[in-house]
């Protein structure tokens, strides 16, 4: 299917979808769209806890790709939903999500698939691909993160050097955390509170900080985080705080250290020069450690990307569409 040089592909709807029983009472929502006989590709959403969106489908040529999307545990249309305080977060870790992806691949009868996703999605993609490199054909990542403790510390403390007013408000939201290094863990505890008022306040304070970090980036529509529907906002913050307070259950630097396992897998990394949420250094390090990765730096973009980011992603996916 053709498209203009600055256009995504037209909207498409799934031709198949369902709920995958992944155990421990969890059901993961999945959907498939495009060409049933096309090249398999998996969209891995960010957050963690953002849920998949219909917009992601439009990066893939529907005549050439069989596009799989899924909502990671406890968000989107997966159940139980993290906005419900009764949802047990003990069964939501990086290892669980990797196992869910592999179970979904088997359920759909896919041998290899291209992996696409950014921000937290890139962390999960890298963790999966380093564990199952034989299951991955190519990787396309806009906005690279590896969820190292140093990256978490930058986002929830270091960036306060640039936005001191907003950071002071963020820190005031958890006065029990005397050390700024304890902010994420303190917010995680508050999102588990039985008091709905405490959870709502922690969610609002967290999203206000996330929005502040992206406030220098151009975007349309509601605020990137505070503007989400209430139920989705509650789940997003609870899952984010849960993951980041545990450094995603990854050894520090693990994903870059083990990037040699990706040898033979072509990768395209696209990163904005002015990404304050996930600075360019991480993408640069990963590109240096991954033999088959190419890094494109977008000079006028940040974490949310923009037209040039979209063009680079579309070009990469179009290039890979006819490759095994």
d(Cα 198, Cα 175) in Å, to the nearest integer?
13
Decide: 323 and 138 in contact? Cβ < 8 Å. Answer: yes
- Could you say which of 119, 122, 245, 310 is catalytic? 119
Q: Are strands 293-298 and 136-142 parallel, antiparallel or unpaired?
A: unpaired
- Could you say which of 50, 61, 303, 310 is catalytic? 303
User: In three state form, how does the secondary structure of the chain look?
Assistant: CCCCCCCCCCCCCCCEEEEEEEECCEEEEEEEEECCCCEEEEECCCCCCCCCCHHHHHHCCCCCEEEEEECCCCCCCCECCCCCCCCCHHHCCHHHHHHHHHHHHHHCCCCCEEEECCEHHHHHHHHHHHHCHHHEEEEEEECECCCCHHHHHHHHCHHHHCCHHHHHHHHHCCCCCCCHHHHHHHHHHHHCCCCHHHHHHHHHHHHHHHHHHCCCCCCCCCCCCCCCCHHHHHHHHHHHHHHHCCHHHCCCCHHHHCHHHHCCCCEEEEEECCCCCCCCHHHHHHHHHCCCEEEEEECCCCCCCCHHHHHHHHHHHHHHCCCC
- Could you say which of 71, 100, 232, 275 is catalytic? 275
d(Cα 248, Cα 48) in Å, to the nearest integer?
10
Give the number of other Cβ atoms within 10 Å of residue 130's Cβ.
19
Tokens read off for 260: 């040699």
Q: Is 21 a catalytic residue?
A: no
d(Cα 276, Cα 120) in Å, to the nearest integer?
15
Q: Is 303 a catalytic residue?
A: yes
Q: Is 245 a catalytic residue?
A: no
User: Could you list the active site residues?
Assistant: 119, 275, 303
């Amino acid at each position: 299917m053709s498209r203009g040089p600055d256009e995504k592909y037209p909207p498409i709807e799934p031709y198949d979808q369902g709920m995958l029983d992944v155990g421990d009472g969890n059901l993961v929502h999945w959907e498939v769209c495009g060409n049933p006989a096309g090249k398999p590709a998996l969209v891995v959403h960010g957050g963690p806890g953002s849920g998949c969106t219909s917009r992601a489908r439009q990066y893939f040529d529907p005549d050439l790709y069989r596009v799989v999307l899924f909502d990671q545990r406890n968000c989107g249309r997966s159940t139980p939903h993290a906005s419900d305080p009764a949802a047990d977060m003990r069964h939501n870790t990086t290892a669980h999500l990797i196992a869910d992806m592999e179970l979904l691949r088997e359920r759909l009868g896919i041998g290899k698939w291209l992996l696409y996703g950014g921000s937290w999605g890139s962390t999960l993609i890298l963790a999966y691909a380093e564990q199952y490199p034989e299951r991955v054909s190519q990787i396309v990542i806009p906005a690279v993160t590896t969820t190292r403790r140093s990256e978490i510390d930058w986002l929830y403390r270091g960036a306060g050097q640039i936005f001191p007013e907003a950071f002071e408000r963020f820190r005031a939201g958890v006065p029990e955390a005397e050390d700024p290094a304890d902010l994420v863990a303190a917010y995680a505890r508050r999102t588990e509170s039985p008091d709905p008022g405490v959870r709502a306040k922690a969610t609002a304070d967290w999203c206000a900080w996330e929005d502040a970090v992206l406030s220098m980036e151009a975007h349309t529509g509601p605020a990137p985080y505070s503007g989400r529907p209430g139920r989705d906002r509650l789940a997003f913050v609870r899952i984010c705080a849960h993951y980041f307070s545990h450094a995603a259950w990854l050894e520090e630097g693990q994903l870059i250290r083990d990037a040699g396992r990706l040898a033979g897998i072509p990768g395209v990394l696209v990163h904005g020069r002015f990404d304050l949420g996930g600075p360019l250094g991480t993408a640069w390090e990963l590109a240096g450690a991954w033999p088959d990765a190419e890094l494109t730096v977008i000079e006028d973009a940040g974490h949310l990307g923009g037209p040039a980011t979209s063009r680079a992603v579309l070009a990469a996916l179009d290039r890979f569409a006819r490759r095994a």
